[in-house]
Amino acid sequence: MNDTSLANTTSGPAGYQPKYPQLVEFSKEYANIHGPIAVVVCAWGVIANLVNIVVLTRKNMQSSTNLILTWLAVADLLTMASYLPVSIHFYIMRDPQLEFPSTRSIGWIGLMLFHINFTVVCHTIAIWLTIILAIFRYLYICYPIQGASLCSMLRAKIAILCVYLCTAVVCIPNYLLNAVKHDTSRCTNNVTTPACSHYEFKNSKLAEPFLNNFNYWIQAGLIKLIPCALLTILTILLIFAMHAANKRRMALKSQGKKDESDRAREHNRTTAMLLAIVALFLLTELPQGVLTLCSIFIETFFDDVYWPLGDLLDIMALLNNSINFVLYCTMSRQFRDTFKNVFCSCCESRPGWMKVRTAEPNGGGTSKV
C-alpha cells in the first residue's frame, strides 16, 4: 500500500544521520504500537470488505456504480489480507536483534517481498477505481438524460479491467527493484546458522540508475501526484454538481412535483456518499502526494521526513480501506435493507425472533448505493 515503510525498504534510513531526531524517535515509539493497531484494523477491514462484496453483488444492487464499488472492495480486501500476517510477524513478533524488515526465515522474507509488490498494486488499483467512480458519478449528475449510456455496465467493466491490467503492468519496474539478501556477516568459521544469519532486502542486480529513476517517476506521478490532483479536481466538481442538483430538487419541490423531488433527494444522498468516499481517499493520499513532491525537489527529504512517517501513513491508508462499510450503512438505505435481508434472514425463520424489516413503508423507492 503506502510505499514509504515497505515498498521502499531498499532506500531506508540505515546509515544516515537524521535531521529531525524527534521525528525518528516518534517513528520508533509508534512502531511499538503499529502492529497491534494494524492487526485490529486489518481484521475488521477483511470482514467489512467481504460483507461489502456480498451485499453489492446481490441482484437488486446491480448498477455500474455498485460494480465499481465491488471491485474497489476486492482491492481493499486483498490489501488488508496481505498486510495482516506481515504486521503480526514483522511488528508484533519482531526479533529485537534485527532491523525492520529483516527476519531469520526465508519463508517470511519471501512473503514480505510478495507483500511489498502486491499491496502497491492493490492500493494503486483502489485509487484509480475511486477516480473512475467519481468520474462516473459526475457524468451521471451533469448529464442525467445520457447518464445511463455514458455510465453503462459495459463501460464500467471495461474501465475496471483496464485499471487492474494497466496497474499490474505499470508496476513491473517496482517488481524488478526488490530482491532478497542473505546476510551471514555475523557468522564465524564459515558456519552459517539461523542464529547468526538473517534475510533482508537489497536492490536487484537489474536496478540500474535508469530503472531506479524510471520507477521513481512512475511511483511519484501515476501513483501519487496525478491521482491526488485528479481527486482534488473531482471532489470540487462533485461539490458544485451536488449544489446544482440540490437547487433543482428544491425547484421541483416548490412546483409540487413531490415524486420527482424525492427521487432527486435519493440521488443526492447517493452522490453525497460517493463524495465522502472520494474525499476520504483524498484526505489519505494528499499528504503522501505532498511528501512525494517535496522528496523530488528537496534533497534528503525522503530519509529525513517521509521515511519516519511511513507507518503512520500506512495506518491512515488501512483505516481508509476499512471504512467504506460504515459509510454504506449510514448513508445508503438500500445497502442497509439488503444487508439485513442477506445476513439477518435467519432471524425471520426462527420462532419468537423479531422479523427484520427489509422494505420501506408505501413501497418507497430507494436508489442504488
Among 48-62, 71-85, 213-227, name the one with the lowest average pLDDT: 213-227
Q: What is the pTM of this model?
A: 0.84
**Percent with pLDDT over 90 in the chain:** 36
* Cα 343 from Cα 167, distance rounded (Å): 34
Tell me whether residue 285 is in a domain.
yes
C-alpha to C-alpha distances, 230 to 92, 137, 143, 224, 237, nearest whole angstrom: 37, 14, 20, 10, 10
Residue 262 has pLDDT above 50, yes or no: yes
Tell me whether residue 294 is in a domain.
yes
* Cα 37 from Cα 90, distance rounded (Å): 13
What's the grid cell of residue 61?
A: 444492487
Q: How confident is the model at residue 124 (pLDDT cuts 50, 70, 90)?
A: very high
Tell me whether residue 328 is in a domain.
yes
Residues 165 and 115: beta-carbon distance below 8 Å:
no
Identify the CATH number of the domain in which residue 283 sits.
Answer: 1.20.1070.10
Residues 120 and 7: beta-carbon distance below 8 Å:
yes
Q: Which is more confident, 59 or 100? A: 59
For 93-141, the DSSP string reads T--TTS-TT-BS-HHHHHHHHHHHHHHHHHHHHHHHHHHHHHHHHHHHH
Q: What is the domain count for the chain?
A: 1
Over residues 11-38, the pLDDT tens digits come to 444 455 667 888 888 988 898 899 999 9
Residues 312 and 297: beta-carbon distance below 8 Å:
no
Tell me whether residue 369 is in a domain.
no
Tell me whether residue 213 is in a domain.
yes
Quote the domain boundaries for residue 329.
21-185+196-250+264-342
3-state secondary structure of 296: helix
* Cα 301 from Cα 287, distance rounded (Å): 14
Tell me whether residue 7 is in a domain.
no
Tell me whether residue 36 is in a domain.
yes
Tell me whether residue 284 is in a domain.
yes
